[in-house]
Structure 1
């Protein structure tokens, strides 16, 4: 019995060593791809409204060769789509734990909007990239949920001044422009409340309710954010903390 057991021992050892090499290689590939995606975002943000982004910009920023880039992406457009999908997915996954705590479509709509605006305060690079890619990102889960909230709000009469299409365009369009404003560094965090109130009033919410609901959403996001949102930074209620 001992003789039959002995030959299997080197094979087991070899298998463990091979698994270790495979794991190391996989993690290295993941790190390299993450670096490339981060570089795509960083360079894309710098080139918004200026000269066209090219692969050379990305590989110089990432410190890799052109061949390495093509191991992961067939084109720059594919890389941009992937980083857009990645950042969108991360935002949705992290935000639902806060957003889903409301059932009222008014507060769900306000909270969803404010989550995007709050993140833009903490990360201008993310915000700039999201603002310029958002029109291509209408299929993510959070946007779909917000569409449902708009429908419910219209059905119940809380959103009384717009049909579903114009209401959603108002919400998404305002979100994009508000993020751009935030990333310019020209407004403080109370802008989040002000723009939410403006959206509510545009949707037909009575002025007093629009004001109170916008503030309630903000207070809720500020209270829940530090514990539940991994991208949360400083206190939004501290004006000195706003970058």
Structure 2
């Protein structure tokens, strides 16, 4: 094979290597940001802190992120996707789409309690982490559309339903992290959501308080740097508590 024939393959290899290096640098910036956030919190961290932690130049930082806010959003989105990669397989055991998004919402909030650094961070970023294309948006829309198509919900606009559920999730996380709450705050919130969506009260109660699948530690390039705290008695009760009435299958 002559050099002319080898050149396309060599160029393809260089493109792949270059892309891998860029992604590795981007991931290093995101991972290093966690160290900064743990030490200083998202409100006081400055670009110099992120640059020093990742051991890159200011120019390299700006090759990937225009602002520290953009970096923080990338951290939040990446961590949210890592959570959903664990949560979604667990809730797929439910054939009912209403049971899926209810359990998924509760598990997402529960994970924020197990990883309080993540929980505190996500409340500052808020619903921007649910931008179009993020897994939380994809999976929630999937289940809501199916539930609407099956006429399980008395609501005809998936965007309205999505906004209600997302608001419940993110405000619920902030409340549980910053205010005294009862043991079953997520369950009672989901019961209100489901009755508001038109489910009979008994069915909403059964689904909202149904036992949750048990999740292991979240694995991934970002979450692997965090140590989960003990789930505590309240979370354990939420995982074990049987529904007060039989859920509809």
- Aligned partner (choices 224, 230, 233) of residue 234 of structure 1: 230
Q: CA deviation at 1:168?
A: 1.0
Equivalent residue, structure 2, for 1:117: 109
For residues 39 and 69 of structure 1, the distance between their equivalents in structure 2, rounded to whole angstroms, comes to 18
Equivalent residue, structure 2, for 1:153: 147
Q: Is residue 2:129 matched to residue 1:140?
A: no
- Aligned partner (choices 186, 198, 204) of residue 204 of structure 1: 198
For residues 69 and 42 of structure 2, the distance between their equivalents in structure 1, rounded to whole angstroms, comes to 16
Point out the structure with max Rg over C-alpha. Answer: 1
Number of aligned residues: 204
Q: CA deviation at 1:126?
A: 0.6
Unaligned runs of at least 5 residues, structure 2: 1-20, 238-249
For residues 128 and 209 of structure 1, the distance between their equivalents in structure 2, rounded to whole angstroms, comes to 32
Bigger fraction of residues in helix: 1
The residue matched to 1:126 in structure 2 has which SS?
A: helix
Q: CA deviation at 1:31?
A: 9.1
Q: CA deviation at 1:55?
A: 1.4
- When the two structures are superposed, what TM-score results if normalisation uses the length of structure 1? 0.69
Q: Is residue 2:219 matched to residue 1:225?
A: no
For residues 205 and 27 of structure 2, the distance between their equivalents in structure 1, rounded to whole angstroms, comes to 45
Change (3 A) 1:239 1:103: closer
Query: Is the contact between residue 161 and residue 202 of structure 1 (CA under 8 Å) also seen in structure 2?
Result: no
Q: Is residue 2:60 matched to residue 1:71?
A: yes
- When the two structures are superposed, what TM-score results if normalisation uses the length of structure 2? 0.67
For residues 73 and 82 of structure 1, the distance between their equivalents in structure 2, rounded to whole angstroms, comes to 14
For residues 155 and 42 of structure 1, the distance between their equivalents in structure 2, rounded to whole angstroms, comes to 43
Equivalent residue, structure 1, for 2:100: 108
Q: CA deviation at 1:93?
A: 1.6
Query: Is the contact between residue 131 and residue 176 of structure 1 (CA under 8 Å) also seen in structure 2?
Result: yes
The residue matched to 1:225 in structure 2 has which SS?
A: coil
Equivalent residue, structure 2, for 1:5: none
Equivalent residue, structure 2, for 1:174: 168
Residues 127-174 of structure 1 show CA distances to partners (whole Å, capped at 9, x for unaligned) of 122233342233212321211211121222221145322111111111
Change (3 A) 1:59 1:72: closer
Query: Is the contact between residue 121 and residue 183 of structure 1 (CA under 8 Å) also seen in structure 2?
Result: yes
For residues 234 and 32 of structure 1, the distance between their equivalents in structure 2, rounded to whole angstroms, comes to 28
Aligned-residue RMSD, C-alpha:
3.4
Query: Is the contact between residue 106 and residue 153 of structure 1 (CA under 8 Å) also seen in structure 2?
Result: yes
Equivalent residue, structure 1, for 2:177: 183
Change (3 A) 1:82 1:166: closer
Change (3 A) 1:103 1:143: farther
Select between 72-81 and 185-194 the one with higher mean Cα deviation: 72-81
Equivalent residue, structure 2, for 1:36: 32
